[in-house]
Structure 1
Amino acid sequence: MRKVLASLSFIFLIPNLFGYIDPGTGGYLISSLWSWLVGIVTLLFAVVIRFFKYKVWFFCKKYKFYIMPVLLLCVAGASWFYFDFKSGFTLPDYDESRIGGNIILADKISSGYNLYNGILIDMEGNQIKNWSFNYLSIIDEDGFYYAQEGYETMRFGKFYFNGTPVWIKDIPIHHEIYLSDYDTVIVMTKKMEVYNGRNVEFDVLFEFDKNGTFLTKWSTFDNLIEIQSFHRELELDKPANIILPEDHEKNTSIWGAEHDYYHMNAFSIIPDNKMKDFHPAFKPGNWIVSFRHGSMTFILDKDTKKVLWSGIFDQIEGNLEGQHLALMNYDGNIEIFDNGRYRGWSRIVEINPATMEVVSEIKFDDFFTYSQGFFQDLDNGNMLITESEDGHIFEIDSDKNIVWEFYNPKFKEMEEENDRKIHDEIYRMTRYDKDFIDKLLAEEN
């Protein structure tokens, strides 16, 4: 009787082992893919031992000289797969010969100044200026500079071009400072909520005017039921389990949580476009939000904030995997930086939001960033692409030729790899018109 109860207990644990897992969820819980496989193998082993142990024993005894080599091959194969899987995420070594700006096709580039990590450089990679607040840095059309003090720090603000503060807010933001065409500033923050017995971060959007006056907010937690109606169950929808402890908690964040439900990572506002009369979702002013966990992109009504459109994981040809950045272009297509978080290569995909058809795809050999990533459509038709984890930026023309590239001159040491040096990350790089920046520099001097 005890054996029967023990076997049944494994069966009842299956719902707690399994949650909807797709590339991009983050894998913070026992329901991450590897743990789920271990749970299934354990269940099968328990069932076999309970009901077929004598048959298994006689089989093993009869074929013991064949079973051992097979087991060794299985172990060797699993080991090869594991290390080959890990090697797919190895970042290239730091290379001094590649640092700085490299103009490859001078007549094809969209010349200007480049801003990244609070540093302004020219096309040759020479540093022109830097600011003390250096994360999520961006410059508006009037020359004001906006940035967070550092990664996941408690303050962000607006500054004159010379660095003098206009206002600073004590709000821990992440991923985005978005300057709208309506003279507002939209940022992302998070709020900790107790959800299914865990401390969980839920994303919140704050909108301010450019004087720093708070205007409105939108919370994923307050709208959770509506958003969940568009997607399958995620890991954190499973209640905490005492028998199977969570094995992928992250450290407690500045928002006070160990888990992150959606992990919003990009925001944009729909501009004027050819699809604006096709469907209410595509009207200028509507919001586009990107969630890494679940690999989801949504369009929200600009007034009601109701979901009007969604593009989720396998709804997109080739599957989205933990994407960053989603925006609509003038043709009415949505461009997405698809990280390919687990397939091992990244792409920038353009889709028709009415048909979900892939219109175009940009990918290169060795183009991969496991997280982060950014692109900017330039005025001459080129595209500036940030391969964040490699500390690598490259500009391509309309024929997908690389015409300019830049490697971060700063490096970091990988402690887990005997202090091997790699190029430091670049979260985003943004190109600015040369005359615009020259005017600001002249006024400052």
Structure 2
Amino acid sequence: MGWSSHHPVGLIHYSPQQCYRGYNLPTNARGSNDAFLMDMEGRICHRWHSEEGIGYAHLLPYGNLLIRTAPPCDAGGAEKIGGSSAAILELDWDSNVVWEYRNPLVHHDYERLPNGNTLVLLFENLSSDLTSRIRGGIAGDSDPESMFGDQIQEIAPDGSVVYEWKAWEHLDPEGDPICPLENRVEWTHGNSLKTTPEGDLIVSYRLISTVGIVDKASGDFKWKWGPGHISHPHHPTYLDNGNILLFDNGFHRSQGTYSRVVEVNPATSEIAWEFRGQPSI
């Protein structure tokens, strides 16, 4: 993603010989009722519409669209946090709702599994005791007695919960502190949820600058990495070579703020490749 000062709308640049052919699915995380399928020439090939909003979307293999809606009216304060949503909806090609999961604590990301179930990322209130033991962040008079944590649930087509993983049970209140320049409304701010080919969970926690792979069966981290190397990460994705590709946002980086794309080897925690734009911002 990027922007151009001289082409505010439309296709900016396209080099066919250097690009992977396919389609693009842009959505507006800050609020829109539409998602568009565009070809490489910038032409709109299809549009989905939802009156509940489309904040994020996944195109499923059979042509339906799995979307995250706009925030709920009231989620105990969670509705004010970026990425908050009221529901996950599946739309057919004509934008009809064919499946729904409604929970005001849904946020950011989700994934449809090969078995037809759906992984979702949810906020959850932490206990006041655990909240008091979590280090970091900017303390203030308006801090909640119970901050939000992250949990993952697997939802069957009938809406039942068949699996649950709570991040706070596998993190250390002192060893995984909140960024010192962030507030204490939430501990981790999960912003991505993906899976490995073996079905393990790939997670990303912005406020503690941590990405990891969670053994789905045991719940333990198989790999956990980030502080001191990346800052406020997003979207870790599993590559065919076993490495993880992620966006290192760079907010509050001690060496200076800049963003980059990083490929890291989980076996060694070594950075195998990185890319920064020019200028480096």
C-alpha displacement of 1:177? 2.0
C-alpha displacement of 1:235? 4.6
| Richer in helix (by share) | 1
List runs of 5+ in structure 1 lacking aligned partners: 1-90, 239-246, 250-257, 272-283, 369-445
Say which of 220, 224, 232 aligns to 2:175: 232
C-alpha displacement of 1:213? 4.2
Given that 1:100 and 1:124 are in contact with CA atoms closer than 8 Å, whether structure 2 keeps it comes out as no
Task: Give the direction of change, closer, same or farther, for the CA distance of 1:332–1:163 in structure 2 (3 Å limit).
Answer: same
Given that 1:134 and 1:147 are in contact with CA atoms closer than 8 Å, whether structure 2 keeps it comes out as yes
Paired residues in the alignment total: 240
Match of 1:139, as an amino acid?
L
Q: For each residue in 1:229-260, what CA deviation from the matched residue of structure 2 results, as whole angstroms up to 9, or x when unmatched?
A: 8x725259x9xxxxxxxx975xxxxxxxx711
Identity over the aligned pairs, expressed in percent?
22
Give distance in 1, aligned partners of 2:17 and 2:233: 32
Task: Give the direction of change, closer, same or farther, for the CA distance of 1:367–1:126 in structure 2 (3 Å limit).
Answer: farther
Alignment of 1:267-416 (within 5 A): 267-271=193-197, 284-314=198-228, 319-342=229-252, 343-366=256-279, 368=281
| Richer in strand (by share) | 2
C-alpha displacement of 1:147? 0.8
Match of 1:218, as an amino acid?
W
Say which of 139, 144, 160 aligns to 2:92: 160
Higher relative contact order (CA 8 A, sep 6+): 1
Alignment of 1:22-171 (within 5 A): 95=5, 97-117=7-27, 118-127=35-44, 128-132=46-50, 133-151=53-71, 152-171=84-103
Give distance in 2, aligned partners of 1:265 and 1:334: 16
Match of 2:177, as an amino acid?
L
Q: Which is greater in Rg?
A: 1
Q: Say which SS state the counterpart of residue 174 (structure 1) adopts.
A: strand
In the alignment, which residue of structure 2 is the partner of 1:384?
none
C-alpha displacement of 1:349? 1.1
Mean alpha-carbon deviation: is it higher for 211-220 or for 185-194?
Answer: 211-220
Given that 2:247 and 2:262 are in contact with CA atoms closer than 8 Å, whether structure 1 keeps it comes out as yes
Give distance in 2, aligned partners of 1:289 and 1:102: 33
Please report the RMSD computed on the Cα atoms of aligned residues, expressed in angstroms. 2.7
Give distance in 1, aligned partners of 2:161 and 2:234: 26
Task: Give the direction of change, closer, same or farther, for the CA distance of 1:266–1:248 in structure 2 (3 Å limit).
Answer: closer
C-alpha displacement of 1:312? 2.7
Match of 1:227, as an amino acid?
L
In the alignment, which residue of structure 1 is the partner of 2:114?
181
Q: Say which SS state the counterpart of residue 168 (structure 1) adopts.
A: strand
C-alpha displacement of 1:168? 2.2
Match of 2:40, as an amino acid?
M
